[in-house]
Chain A
Amino acid sequence: MTPELISSLKQFAPEGVIISGLVFLFIMDAILPSSRESRLPLFVVLFSCILGALVTIGVIPTEASSLFSGVIQSDGVTTFFRLLFFFSCAGGTLLAYETKVLDRDSLSEFSLLILCVTFGMCLMASATNVLMLYIGIETVSIISFVMAGLKRDDARSNEASLKYLIFGAVASAIMIYGFSLIYGVTGSLNYGDIAKALIEGGGEPKWAILLSMVMVYVGLAYKISAFPLHFWTPDVYEGAPTPVTAFFSIAPKAAGFGAAIRFFLCVLSTPGEAGVWTPMALGHGAWTQAIAVLSVLTMLVGNLSAIGQKNVKRILAYSSVAHVGYLLMGFVSANAFGVTAVLFYLVAYCLMNLGAFWVVGLVADRKKSEDLEAFKGVGWEDPFLGVTMAIFLFSLTGIPMFSGFVGKFLLFSNVVQTPGFLWLAVIGVLNSVVSLFYYANILKAMWLDKPDTVVEAPVSSVHRIALAVLAIPTMVLGLYFEPILKVTQSLVATFR
């Protein structure tokens, strides 16, 4: 054990906790078959997440350091994403706790898989090596295919996993081919060396670099469901069991953004003074211009397709595509403020989107359907569900006083401060207005329409507490956001 390995392992301890949880689940499943019928595996996942979060806080790095010979990097951004992943993993697990959509005996599988995905996401968000990024993405993808099809005898769940599989496999194959071209051009796998070789080569050969970056974008866009790789999102979100969908809609997306932040800023930019990067030219202009156009297309496609949908999970799926469009706006400035805006929006998005899917899951458990019809009058049947859903949807729209507004404000002001991108901010604001239409549609069904049949099914206190835990920060962060913003800023400050 060299000193470098020991210090690397120390910084890698949170992932170590997750791996220990995984091994423990495997062993428990083997020697204690009765645990399959109980909820014990879910508690193991929750415990691992809490312990992992505590260990993460214990090893917060004060400066960026490369671990395991530069394969992954430990810095504030790594810490941020670890905490976000552990939180959303715990959220998805709690949502599965009393759900009726999953069989009891598939809960132990769910626990194993969600923990494994969490580990893969940690690798994705901290990778500074092309091979590590590929392994992280594939760990997340391959397990996600299984999770989408967890309801084995349900044709819709199976179809979701088949579609997820085919698009995912193609996207990752295209991405690894792009990586092979980068390797051929620069002769290296580490981000730092690739960036150095790209600068020394003067961006030649142009076509090979452009082609490889387009191919890498295809892989990343599939993970964050950005245009043009967004079309799997509604199908998979609709078909997958709701706890899985709630998890999918936040965590792997955040991991994709973690990978994108590192790739765009460490490979495709040259660092200037602290917190400022110069974007490299790619094709006819800097890559930030391409990202701006893709961001517009992503939010347009998401918002316009969401209008007129009948299934609430589908509406939320298209809305999540639109939110990826907003998030991509954070990259056009290529500076630390943009990264901070993206991270803050991810926090707000994580809370409100998990909450919205949570309510959908509870309503679907009660009415056996996720169509808008099923939401009729839910606000009067159970005002708690109605009020929390209203909070989440208002926040998703970006109405002032909710966390979504602060997040959007940061993203838009970041764009406005970047010369030449004012049009992007204008389109972003117009898109937020469009999104109000379909969010209001859900609220109208919940509060203004009369239910066809009244179903009496009380929501258990676990779900009430969890929804309150998600709804209260969604409101508080809309007014009192400085502490979280300060923490995010200080974490981003260590990012190089």
Chain B
Amino acid sequence: MSGLASGLDWLTGLHGYLAVAASLFVLGAVAVISRKNAIGVLLGVELMLNAAGLNFVIFSKYRTAAIDGQIVALFIIFIAAAEAAVALAIILRFYRLKHSMDASEANLLRD
């Protein structure tokens, strides 16, 4: 038991938080690739954005001890909100026209 705990020692502090952010990013990317529902894709993007925001906060705490990283995280939240608002409007319009949320139904424009 103690062997396991010491084996995971590197996960405390900076590296642990970075691992959380990286896995958030990967989970978001997987959602973007695998989801067919346009809202699902959008949620994946939100996860990726928040992973980046988390990274900024972590680095600002552990690496630079400056406030600028946390400000960037705030800006990421604002921009993600603006993007979500526009995205939901576009997806709503898509639903009205196609009666489906399936992004693979967007097949009018192709080679």
Also in contact, A145 and B93, with CB within 8 A (given A162-B103, A187-B64): no
Return chain B residues, CB-CB under 8 Å to A235. 109-110
Query: Is A264 located at the chain interface by the 8 A CB criterion?
Result: no
The B-contacting residues of A in range 142-162, CB under 8 angstroms, are 142, 145-146, 149, 152-153, 155-156, 158-162
Q: Which residue of B lies closest to A305 (CB)?
A: B111
User: Does B42 contact A238, Cβ atoms closer than 8 Å?
Assistant: no
Docked CA distance A160–B38 (Å): 14
Which listed residue (A138, A162, A187) contacts B83, Cβ 8 A? A138
User: Does A165 contact B86, Cβ atoms closer than 8 Å?
Assistant: yes
User: Which interface residue of A173, A179, A235 has the most chain B CB atoms within 10 A?
Assistant: A173
A-B contact count (CB 8 A): 119
User: Does A180 contact B52, Cβ atoms closer than 8 Å?
Assistant: yes
Which listed residue (B66, B82, B94) contacts A159, Cβ 8 A? B94
User: Does B38 contact A166, Cβ atoms closer than 8 Å?
Assistant: yes
Q: Which residue of B lies closest to A168 (CB)?
A: B83
User: Does A169 contact B55, Cβ atoms closer than 8 Å?
Assistant: no
Interface string of A80-97 (1 = CB under 8 A from B): 000000000000000000
The B-contacting residues of A in range 234-268, CB under 8 angstroms, are 234-235, 238-239
Interface string of B62-99 (1 = CB under 8 A from A): 01101011011001100100110011011101100110
User: Does B90 contact A161, Cβ atoms closer than 8 Å?
Assistant: yes
Also in contact, A134 and B87, with CB within 8 A (given A169-B45, A173-B49, A173-B52): no
Label chain A's interface by main secondary structure: helix
Which listed residue (B76, B86, B97) contacts A176, Cβ 8 A? B76
Return chain A residues, CB-CB under 8 Å to B48. 170, 173-174, 177
Docked CA distance A162–B55 (Å): 29
Query: Is A183 located at the chain interface by the 8 A CB criterion?
Result: yes
Also in contact, A173 and B28, with CB within 8 A (given A134-B75, A155-B97, A166-B38): yes
Query: Is A101 located at the chain interface by the 8 A CB criterion?
Result: no
Query: Is B106 located at the chain interface by the 8 A CB criterion?
Result: yes
User: Does B108 contact A142, Cβ atoms closer than 8 Å?
Assistant: no
User: Does A238 contact B111, Cβ atoms closer than 8 Å?
Assistant: no
Which listed residue (A130, A149, A169, A187) contacts B59, Cβ 8 A? A187
B81 CB to closest chain A CB, in angstroms? Answer: 11
Query: Is A115 located at the chain interface by the 8 A CB criterion?
Result: no
Docked CA distance A180–B72 (Å): 9
Return chain B residues, CB-CB under 8 Å to A155. 97-98, 108
Return chain A residues, CB-CB under 8 Å to B56. 180, 183
User: Does A187 contact B86, Cβ atoms closer than 8 Å?
Assistant: no
Docked CA distance A181–B56 (Å): 8
Docked CA distance A272–B18 (Å): 36
Docked CA distance A170–B32 (Å): 8
Docked CA distance A235–B108 (Å): 9
Q: Which A positions have Cβ atoms within 8 angstroms of B?
A: 130-131, 134-135, 138, 142, 145-146, 149, 152-153, 155-156, 158-163, 165-166, 169-170, 173-174, 176-177, 179-181, 183-184, 187-189, 234-235, 238-239, 305, 309, 314
Q: Give me 28 A-to-B residue pairs in the complex whose CB atoms sit less than 8 angstroms apart, sorted by A's number.
A: A131-B68, A134-B75, A134-B76, A138-B79, A138-B82, A142-B83, A142-B86, A146-B90, A149-B93, A159-B94, A159-B109, A162-B90, A162-B94, A162-B106, A170-B48, A174-B48, A176-B49, A177-B51, A180-B21, A180-B56, A180-B59, A183-B69, A184-B63, A187-B59, A187-B64, A187-B66, A189-B72, A239-B109
The 7 nearest A-B residue pairs measured at CB: A180-B55, A173-B48, A184-B59, A235-B109, A187-B64, A177-B52, A176-B52
Q: Which B positions have Cβ atoms within 8 angstroms of A?
A: 18, 21, 25, 28, 32, 38, 41-42, 45, 48-49, 51-53, 55-56, 58-60, 63-64, 66, 68-69, 71-72, 75-76, 79, 82-83, 86-87, 89-91, 93-94, 97-98, 103, 106, 108-111
